[in-house]
Amino acid sequence: MQNLENTHLAQISNKHNITAYFRYVDDILVIYDSRHTDIKNIQDDFNTLHPNMKFTAELESNNQINFLDITIHKTPTKWTTSIYIKPTFTDSIIPYTSNHPPQHKHATIRYLHNRLNTYHLQHNEYIEKLDTIHDIMRNNGFPTHAYTPRNPRRPSTTTPSQKPGNTTHKWAPFTYIGRETTYITNIFKKAGIRITLCTNNTLQNLLIQKPQPPDKYT
């Protein structure tokens, strides 16, 4: 896609008067003026770029369109955005009582809060999605004191020039078995060793059938 964009996008954009073009992996958002541009002609041109690539078009409906995890709303004077939740969405995350590293359990909660505080949402939309986060946490056994992440992600103030050029870190992987793992890993952290945690219930371990020992009573 990057090669096709570098070689053909400027020509297609000028030919069809495309106002703006955005792409993330295989999702593309094209902004245009329907008085001067026919999206069907744009799609036809894109489908001639490579024999193994087929582009489909989804048009806006009721002055709105979904792109990635946002919904873009068009008004006569401006655009607004809201968080888009797919119809197949479920509120299942790692339960709070499961034997997983706390970092893994809180990762989804931090992500949901970060997204909520990053996007420019209307007040009623913000409150609605905050309630949704609370519902997800309640349904997965998270306590109320975990509603606000203790360490919310903040934009880094370090510039590239300030970052050490040849800094390397030592890492140690640990299989999480409970609080004992936390006590042990804290010792390594104090020694400047970074920790990565994993669990035994991986998809590979669940699918591989382990040989059973022979029954000693047979």
- The reply to whether 214 falls in a domain is no
User: Two tokens at 9?
Assistant: 């996008």
CA angle 43, 47, 49 (to 5 degrees): 125
Judge if 134 and 180 occupy the same domain.
Answer: no
Distance CA 63, CA 76 (A): 10
Contacts 24+ apart (CB under 8 A), 176-182: 176/99, 176/100, 176/101, 177/99, 178/99, 181/101, 182/102
Task: Confirm if 117 and 126 have CB atoms less than 8 A apart.
Answer: no
Residue 133 domain-assigned (yes or no) = yes
In terms of pLDDT, which residue wins out, 188 or 156? 188
For residue 200, is it within any domain?
A: yes
Give how many domains the chain has, as a whole number: 3
pTM of the model: 0.62
pLDDT at 155 over 60: no
> Are 142 and 177 members of one domain?
no
Q: What CA–CA distance (Å, rounded) separates 205 from 210?
A: 9
* pLDDT at residue number 22: 93
Residue 186 shares a structural domain with residue 137: no
Domain assignment present for residue 161? The answer is no
Instruction: Tell whether 155 is covered by a domain.
Output: no
**10-26, pLDDT tens digit by residue?**
999 999 999 999 999 88
Domain that holds residue 184: 169-207
Whether 20 is covered by a domain: the verdict is yes
Q: Which residues contact 169 (CB under 8 A, 6 or more apart)?
A: 194
Q: Do 106 and 98 form a contact (C-beta atoms < 8 A)? A: no
Mark whether 13 and 49 lie in a shared domain: yes
Q: CB–CB of 146/109 below 8 Å?
A: yes
Residue 94 lies in a domain: no
Out of 114, 146, 178, pick the residue that ends a domain.
Answer: 146
Task: Kindly state whether residues 10 and 42 are assigned to the same domain.
Answer: yes
Average per-residue pLDDT for the chain: 82
pLDDT level of residue 184 (50, 70, 90 thresholds): confident
